[in-house]
Structure 1
């Protein structure tokens, strides 16, 4: 019988014990992927890959080491374990590392209920090519589109298994189906580029190729003729396409690793107001058919829904075991890792409270200001929250969009920006970050 991720993970643990490890955990991921790119109505690139990744972490007292490989032969597993133990002997001591207590581990978590893998057959390369061509055709049909830079379709499926010497053993399968298009409008120095795409667990949930291509084309055409906005203090609406970046900065600031280092502008804000009173930020790693959902974290702890911010008040940090121990707290079951790395804290699906207004309502209330649809680069000071990013989008006068803008910079302070958020009601519910368009007053624009 061929090896499975589970049997390989258990074999790695057995090898670690033979090599002298006090404790160990192993992660094995195998999978396959197919990607198709088309250009000018023809197949440009096709790629298929299959492989397996094995990761082993061993602990000797309070010392640890990680090794990884893509070779599943028994002799390689033995060599991995011996090498990891030798490395651990030379590693510095860390009083905070260690596996979970058996009482903390996930028990009988049903990964199947989360529907993380599409039972439908893997799509044939011809199906993927047809989708990519349909997206390209739809983009080119938009008046003003001069070319389609790329149209691509892809599929991936993988199986993961995590096992540890504390008794944990669990795994699940995951699949992804994706489709993207990038359109260009205008010519010469006046060319503008924009895109659209979708990625889902289930093929049946994927938006149509025609919609994706058309949207990419319309966005590119709408951006032509852009000019710099005026310099000054103005309100800014962050379009739903990019508003989740603001939430991303908040999530980074409440990450337990940043808090333990003291490198966060929210490090002294636990139990304090960080969002407007009516807004909450809820994490739910158990949402069905979501690409980052999971029944347990990378240390075998059961995941659960939690409020990161509740009615504007910051309720806790995002923690794995090691950083929880550093801070004298309990893990929030947010450990993530790759096969070659130690666990570290990260977030899963999050949703910000939506408002009652549409995006158009926000633009009307804003009066004169900037609607941002694209962000470029960033200069973020994690200690102070000072924020500066290049941006493009549309200028708004008297609540109406007048023309596209680019080559401008938005600046402010994240602590103040987060406290002034006004949400719309247009968040896409199928994304892992469900965040609507957001109005922020009083930002500094650097344009003309």
Structure 2
């Protein structure tokens, strides 16, 4: 662990003061999360500054336990004189809450003991950018998008920066903190006019500025994507292979991981409830969770309850090996936490995954398009109707129609449907996943989906 700085100690003082206030108010146990930070957002339109925002804030969240009753309270007022009032309110709420036999902090011997947060490189040491630099980036993205043939306007071009310092402390003795920076550029372009207008976007978000793609590249790609969608039509209804583009393929794996979430499993509200230890993906595919990847958003050496995170295979060669558990869901299921607790300011910990990666295939996206013959390449989706108990799946989609193994024309106003269990068992991955993302998932081909179009 690194030596604390003066600012670290200030946040630690606040966290400890909140815990002390909770004890004075009558809490048997408590944990607190406190954070401070600043952000800048610059929007450009028509080559000129449209909006500039800067914010600085400090926030705290407190969870108190009175026996097996718990309550949470959050505030952006961190003055010492308000801490007792907040704690008293939280304890009063807990006393009125129903008993939860699974609520409670980690035992001291469960807590993470040693870690090296600096090795994860979650905070860029570069100085905070000047507003003029962010405006330059947004303007460059807008100009690049506008220069693409077919683009009639740029709806939004944004550049931003955020830094945040978070401290977690609990009455069981756990205390830790981390810093995080975020840089981002996004651009949304519109091609065509009137009823024939089409919109698409591109963007990049990184922890380190040095890793960012150029604003010009982002703007150009946003413009190209919008122009490629012009003259879209509705495809014919039928059963076809569907290729989920890498931009949106993460959603399929997200549905699987959501169904493996311990909170859903404990409620019995998941189509995976009877499939632990059984095959849920083709035999050659695994989903690996790695919370120790440097410069990646989902990296943490400890979870929101102070347990040491771990590398593991949630799905190993197609077989579901375990659930995604925090302490409460693990207790309810008679299992051990997998150190997947995530914590926000306004609520108790909840299970969630860290960085995940699906096994990539050997074929390119182009190879899969060539081999699928006739079918659909999905590049965007809207809405969602998913039955959590059965896995029945239906979503609005748009993208490109494939004929004779080649992209023929853009399509929109269609619905794709299937069952998640069947869909996931028929996956064929490409090799085009972006490895810097927290969710590393390539384009995914699913055979035999139902399309509702013209």
TM-score range normalised by the length of the shorter chain? over 0.9
- In structure 2, distance between residues paired with 1:44 and 1:172: 33
Question: 1:4 aligns to what SS in structure 2?
Answer: helix
- After TM superposition, list the pairs within 5 Å mapping 1:290-329 onto structure 2: 290-329=296-335
- After TM superposition, list the pairs within 5 Å mapping 1:353-372 onto structure 2: 353-372=359-378
Q: Which residue of 1 aligns with 2:20?
A: 14
- In structure 2, distance between residues paired with 1:360 and 1:153: 32
Q: Which residue of 1 aligns with 2:176?
A: 170
TM value normalised by structure 1: 0.99
Q: Which residue of 1 aligns with 2:3?
A: none
2:444 to 431, 438, 448: 438
RMSD: 0.9
- After TM superposition, list the pairs within 5 Å mapping 1:121-160 onto structure 2: 121-160=127-166
| Structure 1 consecutive aligned stretches of length 4 or more whose deviation exceeds 3 Å | none
- In structure 1, distance between residues paired with 2:268 and 2:212: 41
Q: Which residue of 2 aligns with 1:104?
A: 110
Question: 2:450 aligns to what SS in structure 1?
Answer: strand
- After TM superposition, list the pairs within 5 Å mapping 1:275-424 onto structure 2: 275-424=281-430
Question: 2:331 aligns to what SS in structure 1?
Answer: helix
- After TM superposition, list the pairs within 5 Å mapping 1:86-97 onto structure 2: 86-97=92-103
Tell me, which stretches of 5 or more residues in structure 1 are unaligned? none
* CA deviation vs aligned residue, 1:176-227 (integer Å, no higher than 9, x gap): 0000000111111111000000000000101000100000000001000100
Please identify, of 13-22 and 268-277, the stretch whose mean Cα deviation from structure 2 is larger. 13-22
1:51 to 57, 65, 71: 57
- In structure 1, distance between residues paired with 2:95 and 2:393: 43
2:259 to 243, 253, 263: 253
Question: 1:136 aligns to what SS in structure 2?
Answer: helix
> Offset at 1:91?
1.3
* CA deviation vs aligned residue, 1:116-140 (integer Å, no higher than 9, x gap): 0000000111000000000001001
- In structure 1, distance between residues paired with 2:305 and 2:157: 38
- In structure 2, distance between residues paired with 1:86 and 1:186: 58
> Offset at 1:4?
2.3
Q: Size of the alignment, in residue pairs?
A: 448
> Offset at 1:337?
1.6
Q: Which residue of 1 aligns with 2:83?
A: 77
> Offset at 1:291?
1.5
Question: 2:345 aligns to what SS in structure 1?
Answer: coil
- In structure 2, distance between residues paired with 1:169 and 1:34: 29
- In structure 2, distance between residues paired with 1:271 and 1:38: 52
Question: 2:277 aligns to what SS in structure 1?
Answer: coil
Alignment of 1:219 with 2:225, yes or no, is yes
- In structure 1, distance between residues paired with 2:119 and 2:423: 38
1:192 to 193, 198, 216: 198
> Offset at 1:108?
2.1
- In structure 2, distance between residues paired with 1:390 and 1:360: 24
- In structure 1, distance between residues paired with 2:362 and 2:287: 17
- In structure 2, distance between residues paired with 1:291 and 1:121: 19
Tell me, which stretches of 5 or more residues in structure 2 are unaligned? 1-5
Question: 1:303 aligns to what SS in structure 2?
Answer: coil
Question: 2:361 aligns to what SS in structure 1?
Answer: coil
1:118 to 124, 133, 142: 124
> Offset at 1:292?
2.1
